[in-house]
Structure 1
Amino acid sequence: MATAELAAERESAYLSQLTMAAARYANRTEQRERNQSVLETRGVLYADTPERVERRLARLGADWSLARAIELTPTEPAATAGSTLQLPPETFTSEVLGLERLIGRNNLTPVAFLEAGVEVSRSVGRVTISGPGGGHGTGFMVSPSLLLTNNHVLRGAPEASRSKVAFAFQDCADGSPLVPAVFPLEPHRFFVTDRALDFSVVAVASRGAQGEALSSFGWLAVTATQGKLVIGEFVNIIQHPRGEPKQIALRDNQVVDVLERFLHYESDTREGSSGSPVFNDQWEVVALHHSAVPKTDAEGRPLSVDGTVWRPEMGEQQVAWRANEGVRISRVLEALHKVPLTGEAARLRDEVFTAGLTASPVTAAPSAAAGSLPAAPGAAASASAVPLTTALAVTDGAQAGSQERARTADGTVQVTLPLRITVGFDASSSPPATLLAALPAAAPAPAAPPPLSSFPSFPPSPAGPPDIASSVDRSAETALLNHRLTQERPYYDGPADAAAREAYYGDVHTGGGDALRRALTELLTDTHTPRPRYDPTKLVYPWVDLHKDRKLRSIYSGRTFTAEELIRADAAVAKARLARVRELLLQESTAGPAEFAAEFDALEKSMPFNCEHVVPQSWFAHREPMRGDLHHLFACEVGCNSFRGNFPYVDFPDFMEAVRDDCGMREDVGFEPEQGKGAAARATLYFLLRYPREVGDAVREFPKERLPVLLRWHESEAVTEYERHRNAAIAQLQGNRNPLIDHPEWAREIDFSGVWP
């Protein structure tokens, strides 16, 4: 018999589960109350950790910038129909509606949400245990052969062997009952149980009592991927409460806390049913419901609805409950994966993790209208947006010729050849096997900038897998939507920003010197949350770097662009970069780490974005969070970007008389920009404070002796409204501020000597 049981110290009776759930709930009172306070005062985007929120947004095909744009866009109060945003119909998408719902501005949902719910409900059945200690519970298929329920529903193989699961035990549209399909359980083929996590997985017979095919009811594709839920969202539960016909609680339970292994969710109505799947709004399984959180007496004993101490023979429905607890599906999968199994049992277990590669009859993904459905295992990949960046981190250590791919928790794809390359994508992007059709390689960047009359042009993608190209286009459209949403927003709210500035530096004592420097470094680091990855198309061009006329201006040449120009230009560059990455993977499989590193460095130089890091990326090895830190990112056309390169800033003594390019002047000793010196100086000084000892440890990085250059530029060009707008907008996106913009006078008070290695 293929049976495995994970050891646990506690007995698995429901009373034990109730007691432990109550203890966990009580121990989290302070954190839960904090979460509820944040939900009431600030909203869903702020109650959970920034990393979890960022992953959730990415899984919805969005990002922090778009979410903030929707949140800040003015709306008419008490809107009752349609989107609360004043958008033309052709720009309104399910992603926008999904984000409005997530943020709490709009409770509407596409009708496909209901259709998808009906489909997934087919895989949920009523579990009936016959004989001594019998009863009912809920379970759901997680592979073509295996059913998941609670340990306290099926405590062991003997109990499972006398149990059945009934699908379609429900009423049809006219109120008449359907004829259920009843299948025996087969623990002799597979049975795994875990008392601590309160789950059991058991095989189901392939044919029902009347010859029905189990395959006709499909299965729910489950995944341990992060980003399926954040605190404050509402969940859906499909269940057979008290063994009754199938019922559904739609968006009736709000998640109030996320523990390491459990979720807590609360409702004004009733508790869930043991063994039920808990879904997010995209109908992804996020938890296995396992227990009510009961009210307790002074001794911690669960109470019944009549105020007496609850006893198991009273039944679940008599528990006086205050919340619900579910086991996180990712933790169930982790535990199941660790069980030592062999032979047929191992094969059946593996189906849970691989069955999603071919669509279940009930898990083929509905259209994106069903609430911005991400691609889930068992479903066709959706067209989730891919960021317009490729972060290539090269490390050694793999065997030559080996080829492995793995998706990490933060949504990157690791491809192991003779080295490991990490290419950054959104968490819900297309599978790594379909990166891009090849595009012709771009020519190397010229030593001097090209004519400023045109952007670089790349040919359209030839026939081939369209996933990445279309996702890049979709990402660009998301950025354009973000830009449109900013049009009704005040450019700069001086009084509000002054209040925010006062609060931000409230604990900083301006004693000057190294103490002030260290206090600011600590403040900038601690408040730098979230820490968005480099994506200028979504984070720089739509709002942050706009001038008051809602145009972008190159920091070095002053040339004017529309946000749409740079967004679409960078989209073309992104497609070309990704195509070249694919070529490198196909053509250079025998190259070593040094060769790949050189290729990738040349790739980025030959196909730059229209965005300037005033502190060049090579100075900090292209690492995050420095790479994506918005305080030192500015719009800058490709020509000036390439012309500056990684030369440090310098003051040329004959700058005004010299023959200069439109971007500025460059010699072997450094680069002096034509425009933007004050803004560039303040951004660089911010970087030195935020990342001490990152700059100046290599030749041609900014040396300590040139600090006076930055201070002169800072003092010669006063802080502008444009910089104040940037500072306020960046604070909304990544939490911290630039003290040289907020307090220009501190530049001479700070002792910068400690920022160099």
Structure 2
Amino acid sequence: MATAERTYERESDYLSQLTMAAARYANRTEQREKNQSVLETRGPLYADTPERVEKRLARLGADWAMARAIERTPTEPASSAGSTLQLPPESFNGEVLGLERLIGRNNLTPVAFLEEGVQVARPVGRITISGPGGGHGTGFMVSPSLLLTNNHVLRDTEDASRSKVAFAFQDGIDGRPLVPAVFQLEPLRFFVTDRALDYSLVAVAPQGVQGEALSSFGQLVLSEAEGQVVVGEFVNIIQHPRGEPKQISLRENQIVDVLERFLHYESDTREGSSGSPVFNDQWEVVALHHSAVPKTDAEGRPLSVDGTVWRPEMGEQQLAWRANEGVRISRVLRALHEAPLSGEAARLRDEVFTSGLAPAAPAESALPTPSPNGESGLRIDGSPARGQEQTHATDGTAGLTIPLRITFGFDTPSASQAALLSAPTVLPPTPKAAPQPPPTGRRDVVSAVEKDVDAALINNRLAQERRYYDRTADIAARDAYYADVGTGDGDGDGDALRRALTTLVTTTHGPQPRYQPMRLVYPWVDLHKDGRLRSIYSGRDFSAEELIRADAAIAEARLARVQEFLLQESTAGPTELEAELDALEASMPFNCEHVVPQSWFAKKEPMRGDLHHLFACEVACNSYRGNFPYFDFPGFDEVVREACGMRESVGFEPQEGKGAVARATLYFLLRYPGQVGDAAREFPEDRLPVLLRWHESEAVTEYELHRNAAIAEIQGNRNPLIDHPEWAEEIDFAGVWP
């Protein structure tokens, strides 16, 4: 009787999982159909939220500029090099290929993809539950001791105590079965489960029944980092369907929806696949497969293949499938981190988050991650190479542990960080050897910066293939953008126009890139028609590569100094760290000018990275201007002045670019009303005529039109003063000051 009751309880649980998955799928029909429509008409870059897509691009070592360049580059039949892009061989590398696959331009991939797949398959095993209500499932090692699977595979310690896991249960390359290594599960040593998220984590015996070492099969390292997958991407699933030898569902599994806790995807999985790891194209685990989504009748009951209501006694093979559902791995990790454990259980749980970390140096300092809106523009976190990530924080931050890996860029895993995460998420078998010393911080810094340089140079090479400015297309885009903005002649219309424009440029500011001029400003946005950059204040010209490499040297020096500071000041807190970062930026600025100085808005995002007011500007002119407000000096043309312009205590007047900086500043006032003029030496309201005179005296150039169009492609919004210079006389700017 107990056997029958237990079998019925297991069947009831499984039916409940199916019913809930079907309900979630049905409730998302409208959103899923919208996603599908966008995928068919525009592609994966637009089907998910801008924030998720931006994080995905950053993790791939790319950004919107590179993605749009690849989108717009004409395709031709695949060449022997495998690219559909008109690029020289030296430009065709991992970043371009990864983007081509994401966008759907090319399904080719390096053969190393398959070799990495073999490696990540090693920690995946078949679970066998013996006795009453037994069966098969799939699980995978996520630490040296713990295996992850579904709650409905291992419901409790009783189930787990009757279970084993077999690794290498598969065919070899000669087609003959390998000898599997079988290990007993040890739930009395560790067992944590969550029915709502449908996961169970259980200890595995360190030695197999034939004396095999569990460590020889490695582990998959899990990460809470965002940006691992977006709607429209394809995933890979390694599984033991129906308890059969290990198989893989490769790249024909498209993500169709992302829920708060679940992913929905189309794939070929069958019963026994419960508990399988779901991978992205970089072999990072993005989900724990847990349920097929069955077809249902009007009452929400699962249907069988013959159209009748399915009953558990029919067997899973008789279910009619519609899609599949996986639990987002970040949500599993979040729940696991919050599980109330202590003692040995807590230590084993913590290995899930720490067993892939590089060993720490003798002296270490645990510090909270500084705010991404901090004054330095550097993003400092404990984000190490794949297999070395601190991933347990639920708010996207982590503590710092020396030695550090320091990166800069987006407020997501940066491009350099993403490039460092390019190896498969599997730890190799652990050799019996003395531990190796950690890599030096200096080498990590150089590697990170070099990755950003490589990506920036690719962006620039792609830019050379593009049409500099398409007037016809831009006029059409401009007219569509302002279609709902009207002007008039009555009193108060100037304020109404200002408010309408503020609303427009704010709501259309979709992707909000972080401050990273090397990747966004120099390669394309700020180029002149001859393919070169010109300092906004002095007019001195540079090649894009010249400023990219100059900023890279500055970034490398900054980051190395930060590492040195943290190593020397082991007790430094966030305040001391921010002060050091502020001093470093002041002493080593980039070759980029914020025409609205950063100190005026406390260096916060999105103002800091807003491309509309970022211009190439050599360090000397950048430092010379400082944060002085713009000013019209009487007799400016007759006085002796620096190459960058003239600066006195009352303000700064540039030698070049007055019209462009005026329009950029006016845009800032519209986009961020109330942000400037509330402190001494910020741009006061009585200086507005200065901007309007410069705007009137220097007409909009093709260079500015190109910038405006390029920025609109990247962050979605436009500068109204470039598109409609005549509006400067109509807009009432009085409401933009505090």
Give the TM-score, by structure 1 length: 0.85
**Matched residue, 1:280:** 280
Contact 1:60 1:428 (8 Å CA) reproduced: no
Partner of 1:6: none
Q: CA deviation at 1:616?
A: 0.7
Q: How does 1:458-469 map to 2 (within 5 A)?
A: 465-469=442-446
Counterpart of 1:111 in structure 2 is 111
The offset of 1:582, in angstroms, is 2.9
Aligned 8 A contact 1:59 1:227 in 2 = yes
Which secondary structure does the structure 2 equivalent of 1:357 belong to? Answer: coil
**Partner amino acid, structure 2, of 1:118:** V
Contact 1:305/1:320 (<8 A) preserved: yes
CA 1:600–1:162: 2 relative to 1, 3 Å: closer
Match 1:638 to one of 600, 605, 619: 619
Indicate conservation of the 8 Å contact 1:58/1:426, yes or no.
Answer: no
> CA shift at 1:271, angstroms?
8.0
SS in 1 for 2:525: coil
The residue number in structure 1 matching 2:346 is 346
Cα shift at 1:33: 1.1
Counterpart secondary structure, 2:35: helix
Partners in 1 of 2:204 and 2:579 — Cα distance? 55
> What is the SS of the residue equivalent to 2:524?
coil
Contact 2:416–2:452 (CA under 8 A) maintained in structure 1: no
Q: Alpha-carbon deviations, 1:270-298, whole Å to 9, x = none?
A: 78821111111111111110111111011
2:494 corresponds, among 510, 513, 522, to: 513
Q: Deviations over 1:358-383 (max 9, x none)?
A: 69xxxxxxxxxxxxxxxxxxxxxxxx
For residues 711 and 682 of structure 1, the distance between their equivalents in structure 2, rounded to whole angstroms, comes to 8
Give the superposition deviation at 1:716.
1.0
The answer to which of 576-585 and 683-692 deviates more is: 576-585
Query: What's 1:667 paired with?
Result: 648
2:626 is the counterpart of 1:611: no
Letter in 2 for 1:660: R
Distance of 1:595 and 1:114 partners within structure 2: 47
Aligned pairs (5 A) from 1:180-329: 180-267=180-267, 273-329=273-329
Report SS of the residue matched to 1:356.
coil
Cα distance in 2, alignment partners of residues 393 and 408 from structure 1: 20
Q: Distance in 2 between matches of 1:593 and 1:208?
A: 48
Shift of 1:82: 0.8
Greater Cα offset, 478-487 or 652-661: 652-661
Q: Secondary structure of the residue that 2:283 maps to in structure 1?
A: coil
Take 1:11 and 1:701, find their aligned partners in 2: how far apart are those partners?
69
Instruction: Give the letter aligned to residue 213 of structure 1.
Output: A
Q: Which amino acid aligns with 1:188?
A: L
Q: What residue is the counterpart of 2:95 in the other structure? A: 95
1:192 aligned counterpart, secondary structure: strand
Contact 1:411 1:425 in 2 (8 A): no
The reply to whether residue 499 of structure 1 matches residue 480 of structure 2 is no
Per-residue deviation, 1:66: 2.0
Q: Do the aligned partners of 1:236 and 1:249 also contact (CA within 8 Å) in 2? A: yes
CA distance in structure 2 between the partners assigned to 1:464 and 1:195 by the alignment:
43
Distance 2:555 2:685 in 1: 36
Q: CA deviation at 1:73?
A: 2.1
Q: Which residue is 1:479 aligned to?
A: 456
**Shift of the alpha carbon at 1:662?**
1.7
Residue 599 of structure 1 and its aligned partner are, at CA, apart by 4.6
Alpha-carbon distance change, 199 to 270 in structure 1, aligned in 2, over 3 angstroms: closer
Q: Which residue of 1 aligns with 2:687?
A: 706
- Counterparts of 1:606 and 1:321 in 2: how far apart (Å)? 62
Asked whether the 8 Å contact 1:391–1:424 carries over to 2, the reply is no
Q: Distance in 2 between matches of 1:740 and 1:428?
A: 34
- 1:438 aligned partner: none
Partner Cα distance (2:25, 2:51) in 1: 24
Would the alpha carbon gap of residues 69 and 599 (structure 1) be closer, same or farther in structure 2, given more than 3 Å must change? same
Structure 1 residue 12, shift from structure 2 partner: 6.5
Q: Write the deviation string for residues 316-344 of structure 1: whole angstroms up to 9, x where unpaired.
A: 22211111000011111111222222222
Aligned residues of 2:275 and 2:290 also touching (Cα < 8 A): yes
Aligned to 2:355: 355
TM-superposition CA deviations, 1:513-563 (whole Å, max 9, x none): 111111111111111110000011110010001111111111111111111
Distance 2:577 2:357 in 1: 31
Give the drift of 1:239: 0.7
1:709-720 to 2 correspondence within 5 Å? Answer: 709-720=690-701
Q: Matches of 2:393 and 2:245 in 1, distance apart?
A: 40
Distance (Å, rounded) in 2 between the aligned partners of 1:698 and 1:555: 26
The answer to whether the 8 Å contact 2:416/2:449 transfers is no
1:299 is aligned with what amino acid?
E
Instruction: Could you tell me which runs of 5 or more consecutive residues in structure 2 were left unpaired when the two chains were aligned.
Output: 1-8, 360-371, 380-389, 421-439
- Higher deviation after alignment, 727-736 or 509-518: 509-518
- In the alignment, the residues of structure 2 paired with residue 226 and residue 52 of structure 1 have an alpha-carbon distance, to the nearest angstrom, of 7
Alignment correspondent of 1:727: 708
| Structure 2 CA distance for aligned equivalents of residues 27 and 270 of structure 1 | 24
Amino acid at match of 2:510: T
Tell me, in whole angstroms, the C-alpha distance in 1 between the residues paired with 2:215 and 2:12: 31
How far apart are residue 10 of structure 1 and its match?
Answer: 12
2:376 to 383, 391, 410: 391
Name the residue aligned to 1:24. Answer: 24
- My pick for the range that moved more, 713-722 or 207-216, is 207-216
Kept after mapping to 1: 8 A contact 2:377/2:515: no
- 1-structure distance, mates of 2:733, 2:25: 48
Q: 3-state DSSP class of the match of 1:542?
A: helix
**Contact kept in structure 2, 1:390 and 1:578, CA below 8 Å:** no
Tell me the secondary structure at the aligned position of residue 108 of structure 1: coil
Amino acid at match of 2:132: P
Could you tell me how far 1:585 is from its partner in structure 2? 3.2
Q: Give 3-state SS (helix, strand or coil) of 1:175's partner.
A: coil
SS state of the match for residue 137, structure 1? strand
Q: 1:534 matched to which residue of 2? A: 515
Identity %: 79
Distance 1:214 1:583, change over 3 A: closer
- Which residue of 679, 687, 702 maps to 2:660? 679
Indicate if the aligned counterparts of 1:410 and 1:427 stay in contact, CA closer than 8 A.
Answer: no
Q: Distance in 2 between matches of 1:497 and 1:72?
A: 14
Task: Give 2:565's match in structure 1, choosing from 566, 576, 584.
Answer: 584
Evaluate the alpha carbon distance shift between residue 407 and residue 136 of structure 1 in structure 2; reply closer, same or farther with a 3 A threshold: closer
2:355 aligned counterpart, secondary structure: helix
Q: Structure 1, unaligned stretches of length 5 or more?
A: 1-8, 360-386, 395-404, 436-462
Contact 2:256-2:265 within 8 A present in 1 as well = yes
Letter of the 1:125 counterpart: G
Selected match of 2:539 from 555, 558, 563: 558
Q: Say yes or no: does 1:172 pair with 2:172.
A: yes
RMSD of the alignment, in Å?
2.9
Distance 2:498 2:550 in 1: 39
Equivalent pair of 1:11/1:195 in contact (CA under 8 Å): no
**CA apart distance, 1:426:** 7.4
The 3 A distance-change label for structure 1 pair 12 and 226 is farther
Deviations 1:169-190 (A, max 9, x none): 1111222211222222222212
Distance 1:648-1:272 versus aligned 2 partners, 3 A rule: farther
* Residue pair 1:696, 1:756 contacting (<8 A) in 2 also: yes
**Residue 200 of structure 1: how far off its partner (Å):** 1.2
SS in 1 for 2:113: helix
The residue identity in structure 2 corresponding to 1:581 is V
Match of 2:62 in 1: 62
Contact 1:172–1:178 under 8 Å retained in 2: yes
Q: Which amino acid aligns with 1:316?
A: E
- Find out whether 1:488 has 2:447 as its counterpart: no
Shift of 1:209: 2.1
Count residues in correspondence: 681
Amino acid at match of 1:27: N
Q: Match for residue 50 of structure 1? A: 50
What one-letter code is carried by the residue in structure 2 that aligns with 1:344?
Answer: E
The answer to whether the Cα contact below 8 Å between 1:272 and 1:291 also exists between their aligned partners in 2 is: no
